[in-house]
Each structure stands twice: as structure tokens, then as C-alpha cells.
Amino acid sequence: MSLLETKGLSINFGGIWAVDDVDFSIEPGQVFGLIGPNGSGKTTFLNIVSGIYKATKGKVFLNGEDITDLRPFEVFQKGISRTYQSSRLCWDLSVVDNLLIGSYTSQSYGFLDTIFRRNYVNHEIEKLAQHGLDMLSYFNPHLLDKRYELAKNIPHIDRRRIEISRAMVSHPKLLLLDEPTAGLNDEETMTMMRDIGKIKEKMQDIAIIIIEHDMKVMEHVPEKIIVLNAGAKIAEGVFDEIIHDPEVIAAYIGGQES
Amino acid sequence: MEALKKSVHSPFVIILLNLALGFALYGILITESLVSIGLIIAFIALVLFLERYGIVNEVFDAYNDNKVVALISGLLVILAVPVSLKGNIYIAHISTIAVLYAIACLGLNFQMGSTDMTNFAPAAFMGLGAYSVGVATSKFGLSPWVGLLAGIFVTGIFGFMVGLPTLKTKGYYLSLVTMAIQIAFTQLMNTIRYVGGSDGMSGLTKYSLFGYDLYKRYTFFGIRFAPQVPFLIVCVLFLIAFAYISMRVYHVSYGLSLNAIAQDEIAANCLGINISRQKLFAFVIGSIFCGVAGSLMVGLEGYVGPKSYDFAKSLLLICMVILGGMDNTIGIIVGAVFLSIITEKLRDFADYQQLVYGLLLVVLLIVRPNGILPRRVRKYKNLIRRNAGGKQVEVSTEPTA
Ligand SMILES: Nc1ncnc2c1ncn2[C@@H]1O[C@H](COP(=O)(O)OP(=O)(O)OP(=O)(O)O)[C@@H](O)[C@H]1O
Ligand SMILES: [Mg+2]
């Protein structure tokens, strides 16, 4: 039984199959890359898995449990956490508050506790804030000094780190990273690759799906690569197999021409 | 300025500050309308000036550091204001209105300030609370306190029901839905005979506490108080309780999740926040606050009618929240108190009332687009810095709200 498995996953947007009959499975601890030309359905695939879009056809299973029809917050509670192609931090909240939102589901006190057990609740929150900051400083210790700055005032690469930390503080089983290096320069891309490697050091059992355009990242980070084209899975395998696959080459050349 | 910043942290300065604030409030209350408006403008100008140099934030931190001193001296000062009012019933009346509006505004803030859901119907919820007391006392002969409790249930349930359609609508559409609810409420109350139609219900039983009449003239320590002072004190106690609840909700995951929803609903949803449940929470708790404020409002004149809770009143409450500072409990109380006093004091200007009022609002929002006291960043205590090896490097202690 796989950690995540999709069977015939498909979605139709006004007559176009943005994701078309995709079978996919990943085991705990594996890191997969998801590539494909622009508009091939990579982000849409993640959006279906995380519950934002409803699949038109097909099923999503997590540890054998059907999660196809769960709402996003329920999917998160099952252990799937994600980042976005263009950052979705809460821009007007501080760095530490953004991290705390990541541990929202770990906060177990009730409404009456917040009012009558002030010290206990504050202590719980402080523990989680600390946990979030520890996670963030694992990537960049200097960000600790900026913990009370608003997310919108943080440099781009650090925003990515906050977003990844925010997704990790809940200790998910599966982490979905949608183009973590989008908008980064070459040097920052290398740093980000190292950071993603660090995730694995910290949480051995976590499975990661990375969407990425940068072939340098794809060559080194994932164990296996899945290629989407026009919503359909056209290839699956290790990096060297993929880059020599004629269908993949054709898809990328075709994608560039259009 | 640096020396000033340091000095505000001493408990002695906090007591002085509380005294000064008490005097300012007292001055604004007892002076003639023109002088008092001048005082308000001067006070706001002073706050703006000090904010330039970061002193307002410093003062907030200082209050947080010296919570006990600030609370006790603040309470004494607040209680001293009605004491010094002596026989002035008019001022006791204004103060009570200001306090009750502040409670309603704190309720409205859960929706508008925290969650960015515009609600044009807070007055309707105040009205529901007020009518609950009206019906309970005049139709069933019950105590107004029972009416207040019933009001909590009624407003809670209606808050939930109004919250339901708003789960599907946002932005302008949500505004329209709540406007429709406000107008429907006024129309309904105007037509329902049982609750007095457009005349409303008057001569209602007012509040009493443990057999004590809250509207009698009491003499303490040789001072004869205005008849309304005991009721004012009860209302202030309610405000303190609700302000505390507001601050707690803001500081914990409830408030934070509401902020997250306001900022990015999809991200919030994908981080395990049940958007619908949290939005309903904001509507229910906010409506209950408004309802309690309305229920207490009946205790002022023993009257409830549709005109007291119309669309204009909702707009006034919205102005108070925006002007005071969205999602800042103290700011909202300041906004509510200021606007209540200004509205009352401007009565002397008769025809020019609306004009001066509008002008004041525009000017204030130009110099302070985020309100008098904008949202503050949440601070957490005892955050430790660890280096890569997990060893503790530096301990920072910061005040917690
Ligand atoms: N909500 C939507 N409504 C209609 N069409 C959509 C929607 N979301 C995505 N699509 C379409 O689905 C297709 C796949 O889009 P998707 O964003 O998944 O591509 P992608 O592989 O992530 O591309 P990129 O590399 O540019 O991020 C595109 O043609 C897009 O226009
Ligand atoms: Mg994409």
C-alpha cells in the first residue's frame, strides 16, 4: 500500500482535460519530481490532491484511504501539506505568526481555555512559536531576528523558506512543493536545492513531490521523475532515462514551439 | 526622545499616564462642545506626534510589562471619572452610550477587523438584543437580566443564520447581503405589532442588581452621585470583560486563523483551518457582543424602537471600528468613545452636525488611514534562539498580550 496513490485522476475545465487519467504512487521517504511544459497540468494535479479542485474522474488514496472528496483542511489534517508556485504567505502577518498558522491544527485548547486558562494557553502557543522558529532557523538562522517583521518585508528566497517551514511544522507525511525555485537566481536556486535536501535529513519518512522547471534541480534532488504533457503522464523514471525519452523530448520541443 | 522612551517603562510613569488619560477624558466630557472638540483634536494630534517617534508602541509595551500596576491604577481612574461627575446625569448618560457602543464595536471587529468580512448589520444585532429584553420584561414580566440572557441565545442563533449565506459570498456581495438583513430588520420591527411597531416599546423595566436600584442617587463618602452612575459602572465592567475576551481571542489561534482567512482563504484552508467554522465563529461571537450591548442599551431609557437600530446606526458602528483601528481592541474602544462623545457634543451645532462630523472623519482618515491605533504585531514570550547544534544561544523575553 502506497503512501499516496492516484488512480485515473482526471479533471475537466470547460471541455479541456487539464489532468488526464493520471496513475501515480509514492512511498514514504521517497522524493519525486514532477515536470512538464507550461500548462501541462502539474499545479492542477497538486490542487486536486490537496482538495482545492474536485476531480472529475478518478480517485486519490492516502495510505489506502479514499481522500478524493475531502475538503482542503481535511486533506491537510490527514497529513498532506504544500507550498505554492507564487507564495501564499499572509503578507500582513509577522514571520512567526505565519509559522504559527502552520501549527494551527496542533493547538488543542478550547475557547474557554483561552479565556480562563491564560497561562496554560500562552505557554502552548509559545512552544509552537518556538517550534516554528526552530524549523525556520534550520534553513536560515538569521531569520530569527526578523521574526516580528511582516512577511511582505522579507526577501524572496526567505519567503520560500518561511513557506516551506510553515508547511513542515505540522510534520506532514507528504510535502508538495510547487516550483520552490521560481523567481530565484542561479545562486539562490542552489541554496534552495540544499534546503530541500535538508528537509530529508530532518524528516526521513517524509515523502516529497517537487514541481520544477530547472533541470539542474531535477538531476540531483528527486529519485524518480514523472513527466506530464497536456494533462497526461507520458513518462516515469530516473533522470537519465527521462531526458533520453523521445516522447519527452518531443513534448518539450512541441511545448516550446507553441 | 530616547530618554522619554526609556522613562515610560517605570510603573510610576504608568500611573501618571493613567491619571493624565483620566483627566483628558474628564475634560472632554465636562467642557462645552467647542472646547471639548478642540480637546479631542489636540489629544489625537498628540498621539499622532508621539507615534512619529515610536512612543505609542513603547507605551503599549510598557503597559504590557507593568500589567498589574496599569490595570489597578487604570481601573481606579476609570472609576474616579464617574465619581467626579457627581450630579451630572447628562455626562453619565453619554459615558454609558460610549461604553455600550464600544462593546458592540468589539463584536463587529471579529467580522470586519479580524476576518475582513464587511458586516452592515451590527445595529440589527444590537436591536435583537434590545428587543429580547423588551419582550422578556413587558410581555413575560421577566427580569431584564433574563432578557439579556435570552438575547445572547437569540443573537447567537441569528448570527449563525446570517453567517450561513455569507460563507458563499464575499466582498461587495457580502456587503449587500448584510445591508439587506439590516434593512429587513428595521422594516420588520416597524410592522410587527407585537413589539410595538414604529412606536417601539417604552416604560420597560430597567436593570437592578441584588435588589439595588441602579438608577438611584447613591451617596458614598459624602459624594452624591448622578442617578445613572451605578448602571454606568455595571456597563464598564461588561466592557472590561468583553475587552479581555477580545484580546484573548486575538492572541490565540482563533484570532490568528481569522486573520489568515482574511489574507488568503485558500492557503488558510490548506493549512487545516475549517474556513466555514471559523467564519461562523466570528459571526456568532460578534453578534453576541452586539446583542449584549443592545440589551444593556434598554437600561438607559427603558425604551426600544426600530429607529434606534437602523442602518445609520450600523454605519456609525462601522466608522468607530475603522477610525479606532481594525483588530486593535484598545483602538476600537478609543474610536467608539471618541465618536460617541463627538456625536453628542456636536448636537449643539444643530444643522452643521453632519458636516462637522463628516469633515472630522475625512481628516482623521487622511492622516491615519489605518485608524488611531492600527493592528499590532503579536509578540510571544520566552522565545529562545538555538544555533545549528540545538544549543541555546540567547534568551529573549518579550511581553505577551
Ligand atoms: N481553475 C481553472 N479553470 C480553468 N482552467 C484551468 C484552471 N486551472 C488550470 N487551468 C488550465 O489547466 C491547464 C493546466 O494548468 P496548470 O496550472 O496545472 O499547469 P502547470 O503545469 O502548473 O503549468 P506551469 O508550469 O505554467 O505552472 C492550463 O491549460 C490551465 O489554463
Ligand atoms: Mg504550475
Q: Mind giving me the DSSP string for A70-87?
A: --HHHHHHHTEEE--SS-
Domain, as residue range, for B277: 87-347
Pairing of strands B392-396, B383-386: antiparallel
Across A220-224, A231-235, B74-78, B203-207, which has the greatest mean pLDDT?
Answer: A231-235
Best of A90, A139, A176 to disrupt the B interface (most B CBs within 10 Å) is: A90
A85 lines ligand 1 (CB under 6 A): yes
Indicate if the pLDDT at residue B94 is higher than 80: yes
What distance in Å separates the CA atoms of residue B289 and residue B294, rounded to the nearest whole number? 9
Yes or no: say if B128 and B284 are a contact pair by the CB < 8 Å rule.
Answer: no
pLDDT at A92: 93
Percent of chain A with pLDDT over 70: 98
For residue B232, give the 3-state DSSP assignment.
helix
- The confidence band for B84, taking pLDDT boundaries of 50, 70 and 90, is low
pLDDT at B397: 46
Q: What is the DSSP string of B260-317?
A: HHHH-HHHHHTTT--HHHHHHHHHHHHHHHHHHHHHHHHHHHS-B-GGGGSHHHHHHH
B51 within domain boundaries: no
Indicate if the pLDDT at residue B87 is higher than 70: no
pLDDT at B387: 55
Q: Please report the atom of ligand 1 found closest to the CA of residue A179.
A: 27
pLDDT at B205: 77
pLDDT digit string, tens, across residues B235-289:
989 999 999 999 999 999 999 999 999 999 999 999 999 999 999 999 999 999 9
C-alpha triplet A45, A51, A56: angle, nearest 5°: 65
B353 within domain boundaries: no
Place of cell 535536501: A197
B312 within domain boundaries: yes
In this structure, the residue with its CA closest to atom 29 of ligand 1 is: A39
Q: What is the C-alpha radius of gyration for chain A, rounded to an integer number of angstroms? A: 19
- The confidence band for A100, taking pLDDT boundaries of 50, 70 and 90, is very high
Q: Is A4 on the interface with B (CB under 8 A)?
A: no
B72 within domain boundaries: no
Contact state of A92 with B384 under an 8 Å Cβ cutoff: no
Instruction: Read off the pLDDT of each residue in B335-342 and give the average, rounded to a whole number.
Output: 86
Contact state of B248 with A126 under an 8 Å Cβ cutoff: no
Number of domains in chain B: 1
- The confidence band for A69, taking pLDDT boundaries of 50, 70 and 90, is very high
Q: What is the CATH number of the domain that holds B302?
A: 1.10.3470
From A9, A12, A13, the mutation candidate for ligand 1 (largest count of ligand atoms within 8 A of CB) is A13
B191 within domain boundaries: yes
A183 lines ligand 1 (CB under 6 A): no
CA distance A237 to chain B (A): 29
Beta carbons within 10 angstroms of residue A253's beta carbon: 10
B341 within domain boundaries: yes
Beta carbons within 10 angstroms of residue B293's beta carbon: 32
Q: Which domains does chain A have, with CATH numbers?
A: 1-79+173-258 (3.40.50.300), 91-171 (no CATH)
Instruction: Read off the pLDDT of each residue in B24-38 and give the average, rounded to a whole number.
Output: 78
Indicate if the pLDDT at residue B390 is higher than 60: no
Strand partners, B220: B223
B118 within domain boundaries: yes
B337 within domain boundaries: yes
Q: Please report the atom of ligand 1 found closest to the CA of residue A42.
A: 21
